[in-house]
Chain A
Amino acid sequence: MLNRVTYLTGSAELAARLPNVSARKPFDDSIVEFLNDVSRKLMGNRAAKAYSDVVTFAFWIRKTSVVKLKERFEKADNHLHVGKGVVFHIAPSNVPVNFAYSLVAGLLNGNANVVRVPSKDFPQVSIIAEAFNDVLSQNEAIRPYIQLVRYGRDKVINDLFSSIADVRVVWGGDQTIEELRKSPLPSRSGEITFADRYSLAVIDSDSYLEIEDKERVADDFYNDTFFSDQNACTSPRVVVWTGNRIDEAKKTFWEAEHELVEQKYSFQSIQGVNKLTSSYLIAVAEPGVKVEEHKDNLIVRVNVPKITDCLMNYRDNSGYFYEYDCKDILEIKDLCNDKRCQTIAYVGDSQVVLPLIKSGVKGIDRVVPMGKTMDFDLIWDGYNLPALLTRTVVLA
C-alpha cells in the first residue's frame, strides 16, 4: 500500500518504521543545526532565489531565527518536555511552501513527520525537498524523522498514516478536514485543524495619512492580499476605516494600491466576472450597499452601511473588498464574533481592537501590522503549536 505513495524524501521502508522512531526533546541541538544546514543550502541555491516564499522559509529556519524561537518557547517549568511522536501533516494544495513550515513545526518539537505535500507540481516543493535530501545524506540520524510524500485523495493511505499518528495536522480548510475526519485516529492522538478562515484590515485614517512612505503601505497591503490572490486565510476581505479623515485616506490608499496592482498583478478574465457577480449578490442580500466606482476590474470595493454576520458568506478574492466606515470598533463585533475570523491587519495602533477582543468575541486570533499577515509563527491560527506537539512529563 505504501508503494502507492511517491516519496520526495524518505521511503516506504522508513515510513513503515515511523512508529518506532524515538521522540526528541523540543529544539534539540542536532535538529537546530540540521535546519541551519538546510537554510544554507537553500540560500546558496540559485533556483531558490527566484521564489520569495522559499527565501523567506530559508530565513526562518536559520539558526539565529530558530534560537529566538527556542528562547520564546522553551519551558522552564520543572517538567520534562518531549515530542508526541509521529505527526501526520496534510499540507494545503494551493500554497507551495506551507508544507515546509508545518514540517519544521513538527521537527522542532521533537517529532517524526510524514507530510503530504501538494499534488500540484510547484517548483518550490522540489527545491525544498532537494535541499532536505542533500543535507539528510550527511545526517542519517535525522532521516527517519522526515517523510515527504505525495499521493492523490486516497482514503486508504489517509487511514494508514492516521492510524500511526500521535498528532494529525490538517491544512486545506473545511472540506479537507471533513475528508480526513473519515480516517480514525488512535484514542490518545490529537488533531490540529486549519479550517476556512477570513481576515480583515483596520486602518486608522489619521495614522495612515501621517505615514510618509505610502508606497510601502501599498506594498504591505499587496503582500497581505494580492500576493495570494486575496484568498489566504490571512488575507483581509474587509477594510475597516477608523479616525477622522476616512474619505481622504481611502482615496490616497486605493490610488496607490491600484497603481501597484496594475504593475504587478496578473489579472485573469474570469476574475472581473466573479467580482461583478459577488457585488450583485451582496446588493441583493444586503440592500443599501454601494459598489464604489472603479475604472477597471482590478480592485472592486463595496461599501457596506453596517456590518452584518452574513457579510462573509459573500466574500470573494482576487481584489474584492468590503469597506466599512467605523466610528466605534465594537460596531464590527458581528464580523469578529465568528470562529472563522482570524487575523486583523492594522495601520495605526493595535490597541484599538482591544475592546473588541475583551468583549468576548469567538474570533480574532492574531492582530498584526499590515504586511505581516503571512509571517508564519509557532503560534498560528490561535494554536500554540509547541504545546500541542509535545508531551509534558512530570518528574516529581
Chain B
Amino acid sequence: MNFEEILNINPYCLNLEEKEKLLTERLVELTKLHQEKCIEYNNILKSIDFDVEKVKSYKDLPFLPVRLFKELELKSVPNEEVVKTMTSSGTTGQAVSKIYLDRTTSSNQQKTMVKIVSDFTGSSRMPMIIIDCPSVVKNRAMFSARGAGILGFSIFGAKKIYALDDDMKLDVEGMKEFLDKFQGQQILLFGFTFMIWQHFYKELLRLKEEGITFDLSKGILIHGGGWKKLISEAVSHDEFHQRLKVACGLEHIHDYYGMVEQTGCIYMECECGHLHASNFSDVIIRRPIDFSEADLGEPGIIQVVSTIPESYPGHSLLTEDEGVIEGVDDCPCGRKGKYFKINGRLKNAEIRGCSDTYATKF
C-alpha cells in the first residue's frame, strides 16, 4: 500500500494485523529511502550493523532519539527541495529541533491531518476561533511548533478569528461579533492547552463576574501541547473539561498528542478520552532498561512511527515522553488501532559529578 492508498481509506479502519502489515511495508521502504539519501542516517545504521533485509516487523526498525534533530541537520533531500523548515518551540537559549520538509512531505502532512481531524469534526469547514495571538504565525520562514499547529489546523476554519491580541488579552468585542455572526453554527476552537487555561478560561471566569458570558455549546475545542504546566497548577484532565463547560458551555473537547518531528500524524483524543493512533502512524511503548516492547498497560518510553516523512529520516523516533497502551482495536468509540495515554515527560537524570550543572546538556 503506498501513501496515496492509505489516504483513501478511513483513518481508523485497520485492525492490528492489517496495520502491522501496512506499517512494516511502508516503514521498511522509508528506512531504505533514508539510508540511501541521508548520509548521517546511513552512518547511524552502520554503527549498529543494521540489516534492513532481516526486518520482520516495523517494530524491529531502529528509532532515532528526537534530540538528534536538535543536534544535527538531518535531511534526505537536496537543499533546493526544502520548502519549509519547522522548529520546535524551545525557550531562549535552548536548542530547537529542525525539521526539513519538501513539497511531498509537507503536502502529505496536511492531507493526513485533514483525514484524521475530519474523523472527529466532520469534513465541512467551520468558523474557527484560534485561542492564541496573531503574531505567532507572522514569521513564516521559521515555523515554530505553535505557529505550525495553528496553521495546520487553520485549514479546518472557514472564517477565522484570533481570540487573543498580541498582549495575550482576550478580544471581547471581536469574540462577541464573531459569535453573533455565526450563531447556531458549529464552531471550531483551537489552541494550546496551557494558553487556553491561562488566557482564555481564566478571562472567561473574570468576565462572567462582570456579567459577560459567551455561549460555546456549539463549539468543538481541539487542544494540544501537553499538560505539564497545568499539572503544576493542579488542573487535571477532568477538571479542565468540567470547568470549561461551566464557563462557556463547551462540551466537545479533544486533546491531541503530536510533535513537530512528526507533524501531520497527530493522535486525537476520542469521545471516550483515549488518544488514538491512526493508520498513518503508531506508538510503541519501550521499556527504559532495554527498549524491549512493553506489555499492554505497562508504562514505558514512547516510540512513534509515521508513514509520512520522506524528506527527513523521522519515520521512527524515540520520544522523551512516558506513556502506556490502554487497548488495541477495542475502544468503545469504534476506532481501530492502539489507544493510549501520556504519563508525562521523562525526568532529567539526577547525577553526581564534579562539574556543576547549569542547564540540561542538550
Q: Which residues of A contact B (CB under 8 A)?
A: 92-95, 98, 171-176, 194, 196-197, 228-229, 231-234, 267-274, 276-277, 279-284, 287, 289-291, 295-298, 302, 317-318
Contact = CB atoms under 8 A, between A and B. Distances in A.
Nearest to B351: A229
A273 B350 CA distance: 14
A274 B349 CA distance: 9
B356 A287 contact: no
Given A283-B47, A291-B47, A231 B352 contact: yes
B65 A94 contact: no
Nearest to A235: B353
A280 B47 contact: yes
12 contacts: A93-B356, A175-B355, A231-B353, A231-B354, A233-B354, A270-B348, A271-B349, A280-B47, A281-B71, A281-B72, A283-B46, A289-B47
Given A267-B289, A268-B349, A92 B354 contact: yes
A228 B352 contact: yes
Interface of B: 40, 43-44, 46-49, 64-65, 67-68, 71-72, 288-291, 301, 318, 320, 322, 346-358, 361-362
Contacts, number: 128
Contacts of A94: 351-357
Contacts of B350: 268
A95 B301 CA distance: 30
B121 to A, nearest CB: 35
Contacts of B49: 290
Contacts of B356: 92-94, 172-173, 175-176
B289 A277 contact: no
B232 to A, nearest CB: 19
B115 to A, nearest CB: 31
Contacts of A302: 47
A282 B64 CA distance: 13
B346 A273 contact: yes
B355 A196 contact: yes
A284 B357 CA distance: 26
A269 B345 CA distance: 11
Contact of B349 (A197, A291, A318): A318
Contacts of A175: 355-356, 358
User: Nearest 4 CB-CB pairs, A to B?
Assistant: A173-B355, A231-B353, A283-B47, A269-B288
Given A270-B349, A280-B65, A290-B47, A95 B354 contact: yes
A269 B72 contact: no
A290 B43 CA distance: 10
B291 A270 contact: no
Given A171-B354, A231-B352, A232-B353, A277 B65 contact: yes
Contacts of A172: 354-356
Nearest to A98: B354
Contact of A273 (B72, B320, B351, B353): B320
A309 to B, nearest CB: 19
Given A171-B354, A172-B356, A281-B72, A296 B43 contact: no
Contact of A232 (B46, B347, B354): B354
A95 B349 contact: no
A287 B39 CA distance: 10
Given A268-B350, A273-B318, A277-B67, A283 B43 contact: yes
Nearest to A272: B288
A270 B289 CA distance: 10
Contact of A287 (B43, B291, B346): B43
A228 B318 contact: no
A284 B43 contact: yes
Nearest to B300: A269
Given A291-B47, A295-B290, A318-B349, A284 B355 contact: no
A199 to B, nearest CB: 11
A231 B354 CA distance: 7
A295 B292 CA distance: 10
Contacts of B362: 277
Nearest to B319: A273
B314 to A, nearest CB: 13
Contacts of B40: 284
A173 B43 contact: no
Contacts of A229: 349, 351-353
B47 A272 contact: no
Contact of A268 (B46, B67, B290, B347): B347
Given A280-B44, A280-B68, A269 B353 contact: no
Contacts of B291: 272, 276, 297
Interface-central residue, B46, B68, B301, B355, by most chain A CB under 10 Å:
B355
A331 B186 CA distance: 72
B71 A317 contact: no
Interface-central residue, B47, B71, B351, B357, by most chain A CB under 10 Å:
B47
Contacts of B346: 269-270, 273
Interface-central residue, A268, A289, A295, by most chain B CB under 10 Å:
A268
A296 B290 contact: yes
B95 to A, nearest CB: 12
B64 A280 contact: yes
A276 B65 contact: yes
Contacts of A93: 356-357
Nearest to A317: B351
A296 B289 contact: yes
B35 to A, nearest CB: 13
Contacts of B301: 269, 272-273
Contacts of A280: 44, 47, 64-65, 68
Contact of B347 (A234, A269, A282): A269
A296 to B, nearest CB: 4
A171 B65 CA distance: 33
